[in-house]
Chain A
C-alpha cells in the first residue's frame, strides 16, 4: 500500500462516517413509520465496480447483498455509460433483488468527470401495490405482490420530481404521499454519501481515496480469513424446518445446510433443501446469499470487523435451483425472511459443532410481520410492524430478552407515534411474558406480547410469522424456546389467526401477536441459583416452573 497508515485511518474513517451518516439521514428524513420509526432501511457506499465498501449498520439482511443487486444494473448499463443525474434501481427478485418491497437505488458519484462509486440505499416500502395493502399473504405468484422494477436506469431530472417514472410508481401504490417521500429520503441519503465521498477526494486526492477503498476490502478479507482459519477443518451439517407452507400444505418445509471449513475459506451448500412452494415463503437467491454472509460474520468475527464486499472472498455458497432457497419465477417471495431464518439456524447448528462457544442456542429467529390496513373515503391507511423475539442462551450468558433477531434490526414503533398517525387501531399492551423462554445453564431471552384494539369496522390484519408449531431449538442440553401465536379476541370468542394469514376485523376486536423466546444453552441443572431467584423476583419465571425445571423448592417465592 502506498498511502500512509495515518491517511488510511483518516480516509477509511471518513468513508465509514459517510455511510453511517447516510443511514441516519435516510431514517430522519423519511415519512412512513416503517422507515422513520422501525428503521427498515439501509445505506452503503459502493466503489465504481459496485462493491460495498462501507455501510450504515441497519439491517443485515438488506446490507448483505447490496453489491450483488447492483450487478444486473451494471450489466445492462455499464459504469462507463453512466452520466451525472442518472440513477439505477432494482427490486426484482428474479434479477438479483430480494423481495419487492425492498427497493434498491444507486446514484453514481462522479469526481472530476470520473465515476468513483455509488451512493446506495434500500428502504422497505410500506406498500407497492399488489393484491392487498402492505402484505398479501394469499399471493400465489410474484405479480400479486406489487409492482416489479427490473434493473433499470433513469434520470433524476427527466424521470423523477414529477417525471414519468415517478408518476408511474405513484399510480401503482396505495399511499403515494408516504412512499414517494421515502423514495426521496433514499435519494437524499445517496446524494449525501456521494457528496461526502467527493469531499474526501478534494481533501486527500482521488487516488488516495480509491486506494483506501480497495484496502478496506482487503482488510476485512484478512480478518475474516483469520477467523475461519481458527475453526477446525471439516464438514458440518445442520437442518431446521418451517412450520408449513400456508395454503400450499401443512407439512413442515425442510432446509438443510452443509458447511465445509477448509483452511481459511468456507463453503455453504444448501443441497437437500426442500423444493419451492406456491405461497410467499420462497427466498430469492440474493436473500440466501445475505443469510450465509451474515451468519458467518455474526458467528465468527468480532463486531469490530467491518462488513463489506471483502467478506465475500473467502465464502462460497450454493442452493439448488428450484428449491425454496433459490426459487424459479414466478414464485411469490414476500415472506422470504421465514426461510431465511431457517437457513440461518441450519448454518448455526452446523457451526455449533465447529465452534460451540461462538454460537448461541437458537433464538426465536423469525421475523413476524403484522400489517394493519384500513380503507375509507379518505383513502388507505397502512401500518406494518416487524418484530423479533428472544435470543438464544450462550456459553457466557442468557439470551437477550425481547429484541429484533440477528438478520434484521427493526425498532418498534413508539405507541405515541401510532396514536398520532392512525385512528383505526390503538396499541393496548406491549409486554414481556412470564415463562416464555427455553431453560439451560443460560436461559433464552424472553418473548413478548403486542396487542391492538381495533377502533373501526372494515380493518384488515395480515401476518406472516413462524415457530407457531415448532419451537426454536435449545443447545447442548438446554430446552427449546417457546412457540409464537396470533389470535383475535372478539367478545368472548377466540379466533386463531395462525402464522401466515389475513383476517377481516370488526370494531372492538383485540388482536394479539406473541413472539416467542429463545432456546436455552447447556444443562439447566448447572444454572446458578441466584439467576433463577432473580428471574422469579423479576416476574419472568413462575415459582411453579422454577420448581419443575430447576428442582427448586417452591418456597423460594
Chain B
C-alpha cells in the first residue's frame, strides 16, 4: 500500500493506492500540530499503518513558519563590520514610485545579529584569522544568554572557502550542543552575501520547526507499527526520505505547492496535454505554475515574503486568494479579498465553528454553487444562514443584495488569480491562450471557467479528485536531489577539470542515495555548467550530454553557452569574448516505479437535481450531478455543477464538458 498525505492550510488530504483500489480521504487540518491531522487522515481512511510500505508526506509547515513568523528564535553571525546585512539588503526598491516603501522584514531582529572577527577573501585565502578567543568569550556567552533555537552562520566569501564557517560552527556546537547551527556553505555556495545570508537565515529559522515536526511524526508512526519508508516532498518537485530532510529544511520551503504541480502534470499528461497553466486553489491561497512540455518551470532564485532564497525550486507564483480568504472593505471603501484567511479554525462562517467573517467559500454557499447537503460528499455540515449573515455587512455598505455581494467577492478573487497567471505567462513572454488551464485544489474547478474566460483560454482539463491532486502528486513524484559546487575556470578547462568535478558530484549523489536506501542503476542524472562571458555577473545554465561525460569537448561547452546566451539576450553567437565556467550542478533522479492511476472514487450516489445558482446578477437554473454520474452523462452543455467528494466543478453557460479516457474532465469553450 502506498499512501500520500498532504497537509494544507485548511484540509489534510490522503490518497492510498494498492490492493487494486484507491482510497481518498479528506479531514480538517490541525494547524497547531499538522501531524495530528495527518494521523487523523490515516485513521479516517481505515488504513493499518503496518501495511503501508511507502508514506509520502507534504506539508506547509516550513512555509507557514516563515509567513506567520512562527519559526525558531534565531541568531545570525557574520563577519565583523557586516552585522546589518539582513536589514540593509540590496538598498533598492521593488516598487520605484512608492513614497512610503517598506523593506521586506527579515526573520530575525537586529538585536539578534552578531559579528565574528575574521575575513576570508574571494580566492579563498585568509586576510584576518578567526578570533577564536572572542568567539569563546563574547559570542558564545551571548548565544547562550539569548535562548536561541538556532543559529545561522554566513561569513563573507564563505562560499569560496568555508574554513572559518566550519571552525565557528564546530566551536558553537561544542559549547552549546543543543543548538542547531546552519552554515551558508552547506546550504548554497554562491556569491552575493545578502542573498546567501537570507537563504541561510531562513534555513536556520525553519530547521528546528521541520526537525521537531518530522521527529514527532516519525515517533507517532513508529508507535503505530509503521515499518515502511517515510518520504517528504521538496520545493524542486522531487521528494527525499524524512531523515535526509531533517538536515535540509530549506528545500522544504515551497514543497506544498510543488506536489500539486507534479501530480497535475502527471495526470493530465495522460490526456496528452503537456503545456499547462496549473492553478491550485486551496483554503488560504492559490498557487500558479507554468508547465512546458510536461516539465514544470524551475528557478534558481526565488523569494518568500520578499526575502531571497537561492535554492532550485519550481517556479510557482502564489496569491492570497483561497476558499478561506476573507472579504473586507479597506480604508478607501474598496472591496478586497485576502490575504487574511479564516484557515481551518474557525474556518469559513458556513462551517459553523464560530467564524463570522465572510470568506470565498461562504460566497459560493450564498450563491448556491455549493449545496449544503453535498459539500465534501455530504460529510461536512454547512450552515447557510451563517454564510448569509457574514455578508450582510458588505451588502449594506454597498447597498446591494447579499447574493450580489457574494458574487462580487467571487469575481474579485478570480481577478486576483488572473493577475497571478499573467505573471507566470504574459509577463514572461508567454500567451496563456497557448496553454491548457489545469485547476485543482478544493476551489480550482469551481472558479476555472470564469478565469479561463478572462484569460482567453479555451480548454480546461480537470483531473479526477481535483481536491486531493497534491496528495496524488506525492506518490507520482520522483526522488530528486541536486549537488552543486562553485569553482571558477576558463571554458577550455571544462572537458577535463570540469568533467572531473561533475563526476565527483555524481559520486556524492550516488552515495547519498545509497544512504537513503535508493541504490542501483535506476538513478538518472542531469549535468549543468553555469557559464558566462568573463566580466559578466550572471550565469546561464548549459546542459551537458551525460552519455559521454568522459569525452566532452570545448565545443560542447561553447555551443551550449552561445545558444543559451542567444536565446536569452539575442547575441553572443560567434563572439570572441572569453567564456568562463563558474559552477557545476548535477541533478539525480530516482524515478518512482509506476505512476498510479487516478480515477473518481465511490461518492455517495445522488440523483441529479435542479438547483438555482446566482450568476451574472440573477438566479439561473443549474443541474447538480454527482461526480460519479459524469461518466454516463456524455457531453454536458447546460449549466451544471458537478459535486465531488473533494472538489466542486462549475460548467457555466458557454462551456461544454466531457469525461475522457484518462478520467480527466475536458471543458471547452463553445
B100 contacts chain A at the CB level, 8 A cutoff: yes
Interchain CB contact under 8 A, A409 and B570:
no
Within the assembled complex, what's the spacing in Å between the Cα atoms of A195 and B570? 9
Interchain CB contact under 8 A, A431 and B101:
no
Interchain CB contact under 8 A, B96 and A58:
yes
Closest beta carbon of chain B to A58's beta carbon, Å? 7
Closest beta carbon of chain A to B103's beta carbon, Å? 6
Interchain CB contact under 8 A, B98 and A410:
no
Question: Quick one: given A31-B535, A388-B91, are A415 and B569 in contact (CB under 8 Å)?
Answer: no
Within the assembled complex, what's the spacing in Å between the Cα atoms of A149 and B82? 41
Measured between beta carbons, the chain A residues less than 8 angstroms from B432 are 10
Pick from B99, B568, B571: contact of A406, CB under 8 Å: B99
B32 contacts chain A at the CB level, 8 A cutoff: no
Closest beta carbon of chain B to A183's beta carbon, Å? 12
Interchain CB contact under 8 A, B87 and A401:
yes
A 509-523 binary contact with B (CB < 8 Å = 1; else 0): 000000000000000
Question: Quick one: given A188-B571, A417-B191, A431-B83, are A6 and B456 in contact (CB under 8 Å)?
Answer: yes
Measured between beta carbons, the chain A residues less than 8 angstroms from B194 are 414
A307 contacts chain B at the CB level, 8 A cutoff: yes
**Chain B binder among A11-19, A78-86, A246-254:** A11-19
A212 contacts chain B at the CB level, 8 A cutoff: no
Measured between beta carbons, the chain B residues less than 8 angstroms from A17 are 426-429
Instruction: Tell me which residues from 334 to 390 in chain A have a Cβ below 8 Å from any Cβ of chain B.
Output: 358-360, 387-388
A 184-201 binary contact with B (CB < 8 Å = 1; else 0): 110110011001100100
Interchain CB contact under 8 A, B569 and A188:
yes
Interchain CB contact under 8 A, A419 and B536:
no
A504 contacts chain B at the CB level, 8 A cutoff: no
Measured between beta carbons, the chain B residues less than 8 angstroms from A29 are 536, 538, 565, 568-569
Pick from A187, A195, A416: contact of B192, CB under 8 Å: A416
B478 contacts chain A at the CB level, 8 A cutoff: no
Within the assembled complex, what's the spacing in Å between the Cα atoms of A16 and B577? 32
A530 contacts chain B at the CB level, 8 A cutoff: no
Interchain CB contact under 8 A, B91 and A394:
no
Measured between beta carbons, the chain A residues less than 8 angstroms from B537 are 28, 30, 33, 36-37, 417
Interchain CB contact under 8 A, B81 and A431:
yes
Measured between beta carbons, the chain B residues less than 8 angstroms from A39 are 92
Question: Quick one: given A428-B81, A430-B84, A431-B84, are A394 and B99 in contact (CB under 8 Å)?
Answer: yes
Closest beta carbon of chain B to A41's beta carbon, Å? 12
Pick from A192, A410, A412: contact of B88, CB under 8 Å: A412
Within the assembled complex, what's the spacing in Å between the Cα atoms of A188 and B433? 28
Closest beta carbon of chain B to A467's beta carbon, Å? 17
A298 contacts chain B at the CB level, 8 A cutoff: yes
Closest beta carbon of chain A to B196's beta carbon, Å? 8
Interchain CB contact under 8 A, A301 and B571:
no
Measured between beta carbons, the chain A residues less than 8 angstroms from B84 are 402, 430-432, 448
Interchain CB contact under 8 A, A404 and B91:
yes
Interchain CB contact under 8 A, B82 and A416:
no
Instruction: Tell me which residues from 73 to 122 in chain B have a Cβ below 8 Å from any Cβ of chain A.
Output: 80-85, 87-88, 90-93, 95-103, 109-111, 121-122
Closest beta carbon of chain A to B299's beta carbon, Å? 13
Measured between beta carbons, the chain A residues less than 8 angstroms from B97 are 57, 60, 294, 297-298, 301, 303, 307
Within the assembled complex, what's the spacing in Å between the Cα atoms of A387 and B91? 8
Interchain CB contact under 8 A, A57 and B81:
no
Within the assembled complex, what's the spacing in Å between the Cα atoms of A78 and B100? 42
Measured between beta carbons, the chain B residues less than 8 angstroms from A18 are 429
Interchain CB contact under 8 A, B111 and A537:
yes
Interchain CB contact under 8 A, B569 and A414:
no
Is the contact region of chain B dominated by helix, strand, or loop, or is it mixed?
Answer: loop
A178 contacts chain B at the CB level, 8 A cutoff: yes
Measured between beta carbons, the chain A residues less than 8 angstroms from B83 are 431
Measured between beta carbons, the chain A residues less than 8 angstroms from B110 are 432, 538-540
Closest beta carbon of chain B to A323's beta carbon, Å? 26
Interchain CB contact under 8 A, B82 and A431:
yes
Within the assembled complex, what's the spacing in Å between the Cα atoms of A396 and B102? 12
A497 contacts chain B at the CB level, 8 A cutoff: no
Question: Quick one: given A13-B426, A28-B538, are A415 and B82 in contact (CB under 8 Å)?
Answer: yes
Closest beta carbon of chain B to A35's beta carbon, Å? 9
Pick from A188, A416, A430, A431: contact of B122, CB under 8 Å: A416
Measured between beta carbons, the chain A residues less than 8 angstroms from B427 are 13, 16-17, 20
Measured between beta carbons, the chain A residues less than 8 angstroms from B90 are 411-412
Measured between beta carbons, the chain B residues less than 8 angstroms from A299 are 99
Interchain CB contact under 8 A, A538 and B569:
no
Pick from A10, A177, A402: contact of B426, CB under 8 Å: A10
Question: Quick one: given A396-B100, A402-B88, A540-B110, are A203 and B431 in contact (CB under 8 Å)?
Answer: yes
B193 contacts chain A at the CB level, 8 A cutoff: yes
Measured between beta carbons, the chain B residues less than 8 angstroms from A402 are 84, 87-88, 91
A403 contacts chain B at the CB level, 8 A cutoff: yes
A400 contacts chain B at the CB level, 8 A cutoff: yes
A234 contacts chain B at the CB level, 8 A cutoff: no
Measured between beta carbons, the chain B residues less than 8 angstroms from A203 are 431
A25 contacts chain B at the CB level, 8 A cutoff: yes
Interchain CB contact under 8 A, B156 and A57:
no
Measured between beta carbons, the chain A residues less than 8 angstroms from B568 are 25, 28-29
B157 contacts chain A at the CB level, 8 A cutoff: yes
Within the assembled complex, what's the spacing in Å between the Cα atoms of A409 and B103? 13
Interchain CB contact under 8 A, B91 and A412:
yes
Measured between beta carbons, the chain B residues less than 8 angstroms from A427 are 81
Closest beta carbon of chain A to B404's beta carbon, Å? 21
Within the assembled complex, what's the spacing in Å between the Cα atoms of A287 and B429? 32
Within the assembled complex, what's the spacing in Å between the Cα atoms of A400 and B306? 15
Within the assembled complex, what's the spacing in Å between the Cα atoms of A16 and B488? 36
Residue of B nearest to A12 (CB): B426
Measured between beta carbons, the chain B residues less than 8 angstroms from A329 are none
Within the assembled complex, what's the spacing in Å between the Cα atoms of A432 and B82? 10
A 283-310 binary contact with B (CB < 8 Å = 1; else 0): 0000000000010011101010001000
Within the assembled complex, what's the spacing in Å between the Cα atoms of A451 and B538? 26
Interchain CB contact under 8 A, B569 and A21:
no
Measured between beta carbons, the chain B residues less than 8 angstroms from A9 are 454
B23 contacts chain A at the CB level, 8 A cutoff: no
Interchain CB contact under 8 A, A397 and B100:
yes
Measured between beta carbons, the chain B residues less than 8 angstroms from A177 are 535
A429 contacts chain B at the CB level, 8 A cutoff: yes
Residue of B nearest to A359 (CB): B99
Instruction: Tell me which residues from 409 to 457 in chain A have a Cβ below 8 Å from any Cβ of chain B.
Output: 409-412, 414-417, 419-420, 426-432, 448, 451
Interface centre among A29, A360, A448 (most CB of B within 10 A): A29
Interchain CB contact under 8 A, B91 and A397:
no
Measured between beta carbons, the chain B residues less than 8 angstroms from A178 are 535
B271 contacts chain A at the CB level, 8 A cutoff: no
Interchain CB contact under 8 A, A187 and B122:
no
Within the assembled complex, what's the spacing in Å between the Cα atoms of A415 and B154? 13
Closest beta carbon of chain A to B64's beta carbon, Å? 25
Interface centre among B85, B92, B156, B454 (most CB of A within 10 A): B92
Interchain CB contact under 8 A, B82 and A430:
yes
Sample 13 A-B pairs with CB under 8 A, ordered by A number: A25-B569, A181-B535, A181-B536, A191-B570, A403-B101, A416-B159, A429-B82, A430-B85, A430-B88, A431-B88, A448-B84, A448-B88, A539-B110
Could you tell me which B residues sit within 8 Å of A by CB distance?
80-85, 87-88, 90-93, 95-103, 109-111, 121-122, 127, 156-157, 159, 191-194, 422, 426-429, 431-433, 454, 456, 533, 535-538, 565, 568-571, 577
Closest 6 CB pairs of A and B: A429-B81, A17-B427, A419-B122, A31-B535, A412-B91, A411-B92
Could you tell me which A residues sit within 8 Å of B by CB distance?
6, 9-10, 13-14, 16-18, 20-21, 25, 27-31, 33, 36-37, 39, 57-60, 177-178, 181, 184-185, 187-188, 191-192, 195-196, 199, 203, 294, 297-299, 301, 303, 307, 358-360, 387-388, 391, 394, 396-397, 400-404, 406, 409-412, 414-417, 419-420, 426-432, 448, 451, 537-540
Q: A400-B102, A414-B192 are in contact. List 12 more A-B contacts (CB 8 A).
A: A21-B429, A29-B538, A37-B537, A39-B92, A181-B533, A192-B569, A298-B98, A396-B100, A403-B103, A412-B88, A416-B191, A537-B109
